[in-house]
Chains A and B, each alone.
Chain A
Amino acid sequence: MIQAIQVLILGLALGGVYALMSSGMTLIFGVMRIVNLAHSAFIIMAAYIAFWLFNLLHVDPILSIVLTMPMMFVVGMLYYRILFASRADNPRFIDITVLITFASSLVVEGLLAFFFTGIYRSTTPDYAKRSFNFGPFFVPESQLFATVISIVLILGLWLFLRYTRVGSAIRATMQNRNAAQVVGVNVTWVSTLAFGIGLAMAGASGSLLSFIFTFFPAKHVAWIGMIMCLVVLGGMGSLMGALVSSFLLAAASAYVNFYIGSAWSPITFYLALFLILLFRPQGLFGKKVEV
């Protein structure tokens, strides 16, 4: 029993970072219907920024969030403006975006490999080696910190979307793009901003995962599948869905990992994807889409 609870704790302690990784992707999909296949490549780009800040300047990876977030925010806005904005009226916009984002993931991977080689990296702040004990249980400090910060950032994003004027414009655009235009929302600007925010979330995830996972440029291929599963399971475009499905699958894959074997752990995600598409294709919190 104690063992089962311990496994649950370790699983949940990863859920926050999963949620942060998928929150940006779900926001970008919700506002622009862009499936950002390069999302995990940008996360790894941010992880490299955190890695070099730590190695060269001894910047704590948690602290590096204040740099990776704004940097990736700008990258996101430029990325949308240059590659997507002018194509938004194209009737085959969605097909085009899949190609563009897939190509960008390869370009980012190639550039990272060129500059930083394919060596496995991770940052090693002191708390990455410590763990927090309570009673018979323990949780690695790194995972605890990462999950708490992730939840704080997601909560911040939720409050921003809920209570600010710009946030309401983003939500309005997610619900009905035409209607948003009718009430005077500049949807191009809102899309640019939402892409920036989505990649800022990717930036923060990069900083956080730099000390809980090892990474290398091609690692994004494994992660994008996982993030896609989380986003689809939660309901594409739903922040709450991404949060819930992340904790759910983090816990489930921890159990599979412990009781069945680590090779089966990634299967958990795809099995969940398979089941949700079979029985509730709109996802846990998603809405049925017409058209």
Chain B
Amino acid sequence: MGTLNVENVYAGYGSGPNILKGLSLTVESNKTYCIIGPNGAGKSTLLKVIAGLLKPREGQIKFNDEVISGLRPDQIMQRGLCYVPSDRSLFPDMTVKENLRMGGYVLRNPRLVKRRVDEVFTMFPVLKEKSSQAAKTLSGGQQQLCAVARAMILKPDMIMLDEPSLGLSPKVVQQIFGTITDLRSQGMTILLVEQNARKGLQIADQGVVLDLGTNSFERPAAEVLQDPRIQELYLGKRRQPLVTEAQK
């Protein structure tokens, strides 16, 4: 479970121009996709459109063969597709526990939410230690973890992560990517948008390059890492040593 089809989608904000211009993308179940591309390519916009926070102007999106474009965000979440925005979107004055409970808002079942929160605490013991602290007192890495954990409350088939490494120190980035790798090994379908293209591609099965609102390039992640054009544009110039490092 967890197949996503984005078909010829056009989208933009307000009455502004199209940010996504006929974008198509298929995400296969139980795989990790990493979307890279320059600023303004529409990476975050794509995730917002899939999550239902922004309505596409044209085209349709199917999740597990059901059309989800046009549904409300809560309806999309209930179908097993969760989204973690790049600003983490936590509730700053609520405790970690309350934030996690809000993750189960659409479940309408306090007892089930309580059980799920406990399950998530066993997955992320750090959060359990901080459970009664206000979310704004957490470090950047812990906030990111809390945002991912909040999405896990719904036990989604697929999770979309927008720039999980944004603003984090290299060591913390390593931990966050470790968490994503864990989710991947549990069979979760993951759609990752990452500014840190090299790191993102290293943990992905498939790499997608977005440019000017369309899907310009899609290959297995290892091939994208090796592609000379991509290396030059998004991975810096240290070509040879990098790839061997990634393959080790």
Residues of chain A having any CB pair with chain B under 8 Å: 89, 91, 165, 168-169, 171-172, 175-176, 178-186, 287
Contact = CB atoms under 8 A, between A and B. Distances in A.
A183 B14 contact: no
Contacts of A179: 85, 89-91
Contact of B51 (A169, A171, A182): A182
Of all A-B residue pairs in the complex, the 5 with the closest CB atoms, nearest first, are A184-B74, A179-B89, A184-B106, A175-B91, A182-B89
10 contacts: A168-B101, A172-B105, A178-B89, A179-B89, A180-B102, A181-B73, A182-B89, A183-B150, A184-B72, A185-B105
A182 B53 CA distance: 8
Contact of A165 (B92, B94, B103, B108): B108
B12 to A, nearest CB: 13
Nearest to A188: B72
Interface string B14-44: 1000000000000000000000000000000
A169 B78 CA distance: 17
Given A168-B102, A172-B94, A184 B89 contact: no
B63 interface: no
A185 B105 CA distance: 7
Interface in B91-109: 91-94, 98, 101-103, 105-106, 108
Contacts of A91: 14
A178 B89 CA distance: 7
B87 interface: yes
Contact of A178 (B84, B85, B94, B150): B85
Interface of B: 14, 51, 53, 72-74, 77-78, 83-85, 87, 89-94, 98, 101-103, 105-106, 108, 110, 150
A27 to B, nearest CB: 16
A182 B83 contact: yes
Contact of A183 (B72, B87, B93, B105): B105
Nearest to B92: A175
A89 B15 CA distance: 11
Given A168-B98, A183-B102, A186-B74, A178 B93 contact: no
A277 B69 CA distance: 46
A169 B66 CA distance: 28
Contacts of B53: 181-182
Contacts of B73: 181-182, 184
A180 B92 CA distance: 12
A89 B14 CA distance: 8
Nearest to A90: B14
A184 B14 contact: no
Contacts of B108: 165
A89 B54 CA distance: 11
Contact of B102 (A89, A172, A178): A172
A176 B92 contact: yes
Contact of A184 (B77, B91, B93, B101): B77
B90 A176 contact: yes
Contacts of A180: 91, 102
Given A182-B51, A182-B73, A172 B91 contact: yes
A91 B15 CA distance: 11
Contacts of A183: 77, 102-103, 105-106, 150
B17 to A, nearest CB: 16
B93 A175 contact: yes
Contacts of B101: 168
Contacts of A168: 98, 101-102, 105
A109 to B, nearest CB: 35
Nearest to B150: A183
Contacts of A181: 53, 73
B103 to A, nearest CB: 6
Given A175-B94, A184-B73, A185-B74, A169 B105 contact: yes
A171 B94 contact: yes
A179 B14 CA distance: 20
B80 to A, nearest CB: 13
A103 to B, nearest CB: 25
A182 B74 CA distance: 8
Contacts of B94: 171-172, 175
A179 B100 CA distance: 12
Contacts of A186: 72, 74
Nearest to A168: B102
A236 to B, nearest CB: 15
Contact of B91 (A89, A176, A287): A176
A165 B51 contact: no
Contacts of B90: 176, 179
Given A176-B91, A179-B85, 9 more contacts: A91-B14, A176-B89, A178-B89, A179-B91, A181-B53, A182-B84, A184-B77, A186-B72, A186-B74
